[in-house]
Chains A and B, each alone.
Chain A
Amino acid sequence: GDSVTQMEGPVTLSEEAFLTINCTYTATGYPSLFWYVQYPGEGLQLLLKATKADDKGSNKGFEATYRKETTSFHLEKGSVQVSDSAVYFCALRGGAAGNKLTFGGGTRVLVKP
């Protein structure tokens, strides 16, 4: 079945540091890939998405590129802020599981001033 693996946290870094969260997936067909973010006390929000190979999703300074050859969708941000502290979830949709979202385990990111 479909699966998503992402690096375990927590990831602690200083403001203005570079952030990378690795995400790899296993799926049949051609799934869409997503990054969701959960800020403290809030629900999951869609951060960015990519629907086909080589697409780059971007939002709020975050970027991720759909790499079919390495089955990866790593999340990056060049200069993080304290407000980026959150839990980040990589997910896919449209593989063997159809319209259901398949999530990774989540990565907690803590940005210190």
Chain B
Amino acid sequence: EAGVTQFPSHSVIEKGQTVTLRCDPISGHDNLYWYRRVMGKEIKFLLHFVKESKQDESGMPNNRFLAERTGGTYSTLKVQPAELEDSGVYFCASSPGVRNEKLFFGSGTQLSVL
């Protein structure tokens, strides 16, 4: 069974450009989460989808970040325009049910904004 996959694994862009990160959760997992780790600090929650609906987006830093999950399958996280402080590792995770505490994480996208 395929795990959570994220694309790209690395992205280097200039300040002001747009970047779109993609996450493919494990098939059948209704719950999809985005987290990020900035500057080697703690990993912080960004948002949570249940199927195609945003259940909790309290961690989204500002309106430059837009997350979507079309059809309740894969998800994209777009940063537009990117700023220097957006650099970090963006993780995606999925789980079959909210009360199932095990989250399956992808290997992350390393984003560098220059």
Contact = CB atoms under 8 A, between A and B. Distances in A.
A106 B106 contact: no
A47 to B, nearest CB: 12
A103 B42 contact: yes
Contacts of A97: 45
Contact of B37 (A46, A49, A106): A106
A86 B53 CA distance: 34
A44 B105 contact: yes
B108 A43 contact: yes
Interface residues of B, number: 25
A106 B103 contact: no
B102 A101 contact: no
Contacts of B4: 43
A43 B91 contact: yes
B56 interface: yes
A28 interface: no
Contacts of A91: 43
B71 interface: no
A100 B43 contact: no
Interface residues of A, number: 25
A62 to B, nearest CB: 17
Contact of A42 (B45, B59, B98, B107): B107
Contacts of B3: 43
Interface string A32-48: 10101000011111100
A101 B35 CA distance: 9
A93 interface: yes
Counting chain A CB atoms within 10 Å of each CB, which of B42, B93, B103 scores highest?
A: B42
A100 B37 contact: no
A54 to B, nearest CB: 18
Interface string A45-76: 11001010000000000000000000000000
Sorted nearest first, the 8 A-B pairs with minimum C-beta distance are A44-B105, A103-B43, A43-B105, A43-B107, A100-B45, A105-B42, A103-B42, A43-B106
Interface of B: 3-4, 33, 35, 37, 40-45, 48, 56, 59, 91, 93, 98, 101-108
